[in-house]
A and B are shown apart, each in its own frame.
Chain A
Amino acid sequence: MSAPAILIAGGGMAGWTTALALARPFRGTGARIAVIDTPGPDVSLGPLAPAIATLPSAQDAHWALGLPEHRVVRAGRGAYRLGEFWRGWDGREAAAFLPFGEVGADIGGVRFHQQVARLQALGETASLADHALSSLAAAAGRFAIPPHDAADIRATLDHGLHLDAEALTGALLRPVALAMGVTRIEGGIGEVELCTDGLIAALRLDDGRRETADLFIDATGPDARLIGALEAAWEDEAAWEDWAALSPFDRAAAVIRPDTAEPAPFTRDAAHPWGWRRTMPLNGARGEIVMFASRHMKDERASQMMGGAEPAAVTSGRRLSPWTGNCVAVGAAAAIPDPLASAELALVHAAALRLARLVPWPGGWRAEAEEFNRLWRHETESARDFALLRHLLNRRPEKVWAAAREASAPEPMDRRLALFAARGRIIRTEHGLYDDALWARAFIALGARPRHHDPLADGLDAGMLKARSARIRELAARAAASMPRHGDFLARVNAQDGPR
């Protein structure tokens, strides 16, 4: 069989990640995969993503892309994150930790957070996070990769990464993709040539060269040069769904700054009277994002705070059908999630790896596009809602935060809120980026207290629950103390060509 030609427009992190996702499985088929590597800064994941935080699922994705994680960490000036410290959302400057990984264990359908809630109702003071090894290790600045031995409590650990997007692209994604046979075309994107049926016929580069392909990938960032050009022909199908109404914070800036302190193994999110600030430790640097309400803070003030970075308007939203015709949008051309969702890379990974298994060539594209877009809607919805949770459940006194609280929660978020408020229950959402347990921890980290815990937890023996809780905390404390310091762990990763 002859093989497809796939042209990826935009050579940022989104473009090269997609190139890799396609190049590996198509290697040896004769498929032509080319990237138009546009000059200028990388905005393929959006304007707020010079540094990004990944979800634990990035480990599997990197594995599927053939990228050993230690090489990702090294190339991306990366650091590990065991979870997120959230401060200020409750209006009392109390900090709460959102741990990744497993915490405790369910007993016959009774979730662990319900067991802890029952113990608290009995007067115990230990919090959910107190039972999380990730939480204890993070507080102590320690880090470890979980061992394979499931009996070891360290097997409950899990992590995401902080990464410098441009560094990772330049030092790893692009060279590996080129080594896999991806063609690099340097140049800017000019005109998009459409056929009468609304498909893309070719791309013109700004120097006049004309590139054709069977499938076009739009990784051009918020400008969405390709899919944007299809909007007229496809109307609603390709259009952008704006999420601005969900948040009162309308300006944002992001920057990477040098920082020689030992990187903390977690993300730090702090709510302030004007908005919020996220800090992502990197190796020798830190990424920062501020998002704020223009009525409460001037751009100049934000810029000062951010070492001169220029704030811009927030543009979060998504396309309902990023795959339209013979064009698939990835990265910010397809969705710009709120940075608090940590979802930028997860969405690119999911889209790129799924696309590799759905390349429609030869033949039509409708059935594949429908499948692709259907799953995409679930993924982006979960990212939207995970960030929104911090808006809706904040208890800060300022007007702007009150407005954030009052945003109307879209389906299925209102159901999610109601069920947690009643009994601490988590609804199942299909194909979301966050598992049930993480949702429960997010509610709890924000101080949400259900009216009562799950009545089934009352069916469990209190003495047994207490003993288990004490044992988990004891094991976790001991394991945390035995883990290496995050800085030492990183130094080892960066020093040699191997994970240890």
Chain B
Amino acid sequence: MRDPDAITKVVIVGGGTAGWMAAAALSRMSGSGLMEVTLVESDAIGIVGVGEATIPPIRHFNEIIGIDERDFIRATQGAFKLGIEFRGWTRPGHRYIHPFGPYGADIGAVKFHQHWLRMRAVGRAADIEDYNLCAVASRQGRFGPVAPQARSPLAQLHWAYHFDASLYAKYLRAFSEAHGVVRREGRITRVHQRAEDGFIEAVELESGERVEGELFIDCSGFRGLLIEQTLKAGYEDWTGWLPCDRAMAVPCAHGAEGLTPYTRSTAREAGWQWRIPLQHRVGNGYVYSSAHISDDEATATLLASLEGEAQADPRPLRFTTGQRKSAWVKNCVALGLASGFLEPLESTSIHMIQTGITRLLHLFPDRGFDARGIAEYNRLTARHAAQIRDFIILHYHANQRAGEPLWDACRTMAVPDSLQRRLDLFRLKGRISRDEDELFAEPSWLAVYLGQEVVPEGWDPIADAAPADDIAAALEQVRNAVLAGTASMPLHSDFIARHCRAHAA
């Protein structure tokens, strides 16, 4: 029995990472003949394509659509990532790692870090990073399975990828087309709306061709061709908290440092700079606030700091941090840059595309487009974005870079209530408030609180229950398990060379 209300025609506008991820996810439906999925993209307009660093849930996305990991790494010049190193964020010269995965393990009702706080106060704890496998492996440049004799629940590897985003889009395109997604090339010059209710009926290409659909997925990038230019969703501006509004991006040749298994973010006077090592090159970019530095100065700073020869002209990007007031309006759902922008400090943009797709599949509409399903989608999307926003603001807010206008402003600004409440709770006894389904789990908040030196006044009183010697021994056990685990792992560069060297590196 076919459902008479079922959507049978989906049009995806845009062929960047967002568009092709959506296409790949919907290709199961096109593949089984239930739905036509058409993707329109314009070669003339092109894609942003600078999204190169990811977080672990992307593995889940790849798994669901059936991508083989090593094949994928080879095809995208990819490499592995165990976390992010933050240099100079707390103050110049300081550095810490926000690693994937947990620190140690809770003991009874007591969180591991509470024991650590207590032991640290009496000088009996090592650096917090020593208790996290991904952090230590990052420092040692290692990636790969922990050897069987060194495996331990205290030493679990969590990872994500660095990859060339345009190659990823190509990879997803081949996958989607093989499963029945139809691609149309051409620039959209007109959008046709239904007279009675403003629903989108069709997009019209420069050639005059009309592409009709029942559901439109707007992946047209910053411009938000459908969601904003046509449907006027409105935009919530977050630049009051996150003032960076430009980026200069440039790839360069590998220098001496090589293929580190982590992303680096280095704080600069007017923003920060990323370093993303791929197999064939290193991606770099300076994310900055145009109120605090000129484009020329930013470019000069960026070029002066490259570890190898630049491989292209620096590419400028402009953005306004914030989110569409509604990511879903009428019969149009916006994904990717069309739905909003949060700077790539925690590599979350591709993940937000992924969660948007998952949410859309869970709430997939029929031709009635029930308002409550749409409201639910928008509620969850807004909540998710605000949680990530708060986490990013924390990095900027908890800084000690006195005397630099951007950093002074961020340190003294009023943060959102939702973040203030978390900070208050942590500052007292190191307690971490967390929402269910939240992307960044307790260890992530802990890494950034401690890394940014938000130091609790005390610790949870129940951490005082066990004898100090026992706790010191338990901490030592974790540290040793992590050391043994990492020592047994191959070097990241060796792992890549052996298992997933790119086809034409």
Any B CB within 8 A of the CB of A419: yes
Partner of B431, one of A29, A357, A414: A357
Q: Are A357 and B462 in contact (CB under 8 A)?
A: yes
* CA–CA, A459 and B2, complex, Å: 11
Residues on A with C-beta less than 8 A from B6 are: 452, 455, 458
> Once the chains bind, are A364 and B428 in contact (CB under 8 Å)?
yes
B428 touches A452 (CB 8 A): no
Q: Which residue of B lies closest to A118 (CB)?
A: B1
Least Cβ–Cβ distance between A22 and chain B, in angstroms: 9
- Interchain CB contact under 8 A, A430 and B437: yes
Q: What distance in Å separates the Cβ of A491 from its nearest Cβ neighbour in chain B?
A: 33
A121 touches B1 (CB 8 A): yes
Q: Does B364 contact A (CB under 8 A)?
A: yes
Q: Which residues of B contact A455 (CB under 8 A)?
A: 3, 6-7, 29, 34, 364, 366
The digit string for B411-446, where 1 denotes a CB below 8 A from any CB of A, is 000000000010011001101010111000000000
Indicate if A245 sits at the interface (CB-CB under 8 A).
no
A109–B460 CA distance with the chains assembled, in angstroms: 39
Once the chains bind, are B436 and A109 in contact (CB under 8 Å)?
no
Query: Within 8 Å of chain A (Cβ to Cβ): is B503?
Result: no
**A3 vs B28: C-alpha distance when bound (angstroms):** 59
In the complex the two chains form, is A363's CB within 8 Å of B458's CB? yes
- Cα A357 to Cα B114 in complex, Å, equals 11
Q: Give the CA-CA distance A459 to B6 in the complex, in Å.
A: 12
Q: How distant is B498 from chain A, measured CB to nearest CB, in Å? A: 32
Interface contact A422-B466, CB-CB below 8 Å: no
Quick check: is A229 within 8 A (CB to CB) of the other chain?
Answer: no
Q: Which residues of A contact B375 (CB under 8 A)?
A: 415
| B55 → A minimal CB distance (Å) | 20
Instruction: Give the distance to chain B from A7, nearest Cβ to Cβ, in Å.
Output: 16
Q: Render A416-435 as a binary contact track against B, CB cut-off 8 A, 1 for contact.
A: 00110011010110110000
Which residues of chain B in 172-204 are interfacial with respect to chain A, using CB atoms and an 8 Å cutoff?
Answer: none
Nearest CB to that of A418 among chain B residues? B372
Tell me, in angstroms, the Cα distance from A415 to B380 when the chains sit together. Answer: 13
Contact of B424 (CB < 8 Å), options: A4, A359, A367, A415: A367
Within 8 Å of chain B (Cβ to Cβ): is A366? yes
> How many residues belonging to A are interface residues under a CB distance threshold of 8 Å?
50
Residues of A within 8 A of B48 (CB): none
Q: How far is the CA of A370 from the CA of B428 in the complex (A)?
A: 13
User: Is the pair A422, B366 in contact by a Cβ cutoff of 8 Å?
Assistant: yes
Please, what's the 1-or-0 string for B357-401, where 1 marks a CB less than 8 Å from any CB in chain A? 010011110101010110110001000000000000000000000
For residue B236, CB closer than 8 A to chain A, the reply is no
Tell which of B64, B372, B431 touches A419, judged by Cβ atoms closer than 8 Å: B372
Is B5 positioned at the interface, with any CB of A under 8 Å from its CB? Answer: yes
Q: How far is the CA of A3 from the CA of B375 in the complex (A)?
A: 48
- Cβ of B108 under 8 Å from chain A: yes
Whether a CB of chain B sits under 8 angstroms from the CB of A105 is no
Q: Which residues of A contact B504 (CB under 8 A)?
A: none
Query: Smallest Cβ distance from B376 to chain A, in angstroms?
Result: 6
Find chain B residues with CB under 8 A from A425 CB: 362-363, 373
Q: Do A29 and B366 touch (CB < 8 A)?
A: no
Q: Is B291 an interface residue (CB 8 A)?
A: no
CB-CB under 8 A for A419 and B373, given A364-B428, A428-B437: yes
B58 located at the interface, meaning its Cβ lies under 8 Å from any Cβ of chain A in the complex: no
In the bound complex, how far is the Cα of B64 from the Cα of A109, in angstroms? Answer: 9
By beta carbon, the residue of chain A nearest B438 is A430
Answer whether residue A371 sits at the interface, using C-beta atoms and an 8 A cutoff: yes
Residues A368 and B431 in contact, CB atoms below 8 Å apart:
yes
Which residues 440-484 of A sit at the B interface, judged by CB distance below 8 A?
451-452, 454-456, 458-461
> Does A150 count as interface, using CB distance less than 8 angstroms?
no
* A4 to B3 alpha-carbon distance, docked (Å): 63
Query: Would you give the 0/1 interface string for B2-45, flagging 1 where the beta carbon is closer than 8 Å to chain A?
Result: 11011100000000000000000000110110100000000000
A385 to chain B, nearest CB (A): 15
Q: What residues of chain B lie closer than 8 Å to A371, measured between beta carbons?
A: 421, 425, 431, 433
Q: Is the CB of B421 within 8 A of A370?
A: yes
Cα distance A41–B5 in the bound complex, in angstroms: 58
Question: A437 interface residue, CB < 8 Å from B?
Answer: no
Which A residues lie within 8 Å of B373 (CB)? 418-419, 422-423, 425
> In the complex, what distance in Å separates the CA atom of A427 from the CA atom of B466?
42
B403 sits at the interface (CB 8 A)? no
Given contacts A25-B465, A109-B358, contact A430 B364 (CB under 8 A): no
Q: A452: which of B5, B28, B358 is its contact (CB, 8 Å)?
A: B5
A174-192 residues at the B interface, CB under 8 angstroms: none
Query: Does A438 reach chain B (CB closer than 8 Å)?
Result: no
List A14-47 residues whose CB lies under 8 Å from chain B: 24-29, 31
CA distance A359 to B458 in the complex (A): 12
Given the complex of chains A and B, what is the CA–CA distance between A4 and B460 in angstroms? 12
For B458, what are the chain A residues with a Cβ–Cβ distance below 8 Å?
A: 362-363
* Structural contact, B29 and A459, CB atoms closer than 8 A: yes
A155 to chain B, nearest CB (A): 20
Number of B residues contacting the other chain (C-beta, 8 Å)?
48
Q: Does A356 contact B (CB under 8 A)?
A: yes
Q: Is B148 an interface residue (CB 8 A)?
A: no
Chain B: CB-nearest residue to A356: B109
Most buried by B among A4, A362, A364: A362
In the assembled complex, how far is the CB of residue B112 from the closest CB belonging to chain A, in whole angstroms? 13
Chain A hits for B358, CB < 8 A = 109
Q: Is A202 an interface residue (CB 8 A)?
A: no
Q: Check B462 against A423 for contact (C-beta < 8 Å).
A: no
Interface contact A360-B462, CB-CB below 8 Å: no
Knowing A425-B362, A428-B437, A452-B366, the reply to whether A367 touches B372 (Cβ < 8 A) is no
- A418–B370 touching, CB < 8 Å: yes
Q: Min CB distance, B371 to chain A, in Å? A: 9
Kindly report which residue of chain B lies nearest to residue A430, judged by CB atoms: B436
A3 to B2, CA, bound (A): 67
Q: Mark B48-62, 1 if CB is under 8 A from A, else 0.
A: 000000000000000
CB atoms of A29 and B460 under 8 A apart: no
- Give CA–CA (A117, B64) in the complex, Å: 23
Contact of B64 among A26, A108, A423 (CB under 8 A): A108
Contact of A357 with B109 at beta-carbon distance under 8 Å, contacts A370-B421, A422-B373, A454-B364 already known: yes
Query: B residues within 8 A CB of A28?
Result: 464-467
0/1 interface trace, chain B 460-502, chain A, CB 8 Å (1 if under): 1110111100000000000000000000000000000000000
CB nearest neighbor in B for A359: B461
A483 to B29, CA, bound (A): 41
Q: How many Å lie between the Cα of A70 and that of B382 in the bound state?
A: 45
- Given known pairs A367-B425, A419-B372, the reply for A25 and B34 (CB within 8 Å) is no
Which residues in B have their C-beta under 8 angstroms from that of A108?
Answer: 28, 64
CB atoms of A363 and B431 under 8 A apart: no
Please tell me if the beta carbons of B428 and A368 are within 8 angstroms of each other in the complex: yes
Q: Is B376 a contact of A368 with CB atoms below 8 Å?
A: no
- The verdict on A64 contacting chain B, using a C-beta distance below 8 Å, is yes
Who on chain B is nearest to A460 by CB? B32
Task: For the complex formed, measure the closest distance between the CB of B257 and the CB atoms of chain A, giving whole angstroms.
Answer: 40
State whether the Cβ of B457 lies closer than 8 Å to any Cβ in chain A: yes
CA of A121 to CA of B4, assembled, Å: 13
- Neighbouring B residues of A29 by C-beta, 8 Å: 461-462, 464-465
Kindly list chain A residues whose C-beta atoms are within 8 Å of the C-beta of B429: 360, 363
Assembly CA distance A27 to B463 (angstroms):
10
B110 interface contact, C-beta 8 A: yes
17 CB-based A-B contacts, threshold 8 Å:
A24-B108, A28-B464, A29-B464, A108-B64, A122-B1, A357-B109, A367-B424, A367-B425, A368-B425, A368-B431, A370-B425, A371-B425, A371-B433, A418-B372, A423-B373, A452-B5, A459-B31
* The 3 residue pairs across chains A and B that have the minimum distance between CB atoms: A25-B462, A367-B424, A418-B372
| Given A25-B109, A456-B361: 16 more A-B contacts, CB < 8 Å | A4-B461, A27-B465, A28-B466, A31-B461, A109-B362, A360-B428, A363-B428, A363-B458, A422-B373, A428-B380, A430-B435, A455-B3, A458-B3, A458-B6, A459-B28, A459-B32
Q: Which B residues lie at the A interface, using CB under 8 A?
A: 1-3, 5-7, 28-29, 31-32, 34, 64, 108-111, 358, 361-364, 366, 368, 370, 372-373, 375-376, 380, 421, 424-425, 428-429, 431, 433, 435-437, 457-458, 460-462, 464-467
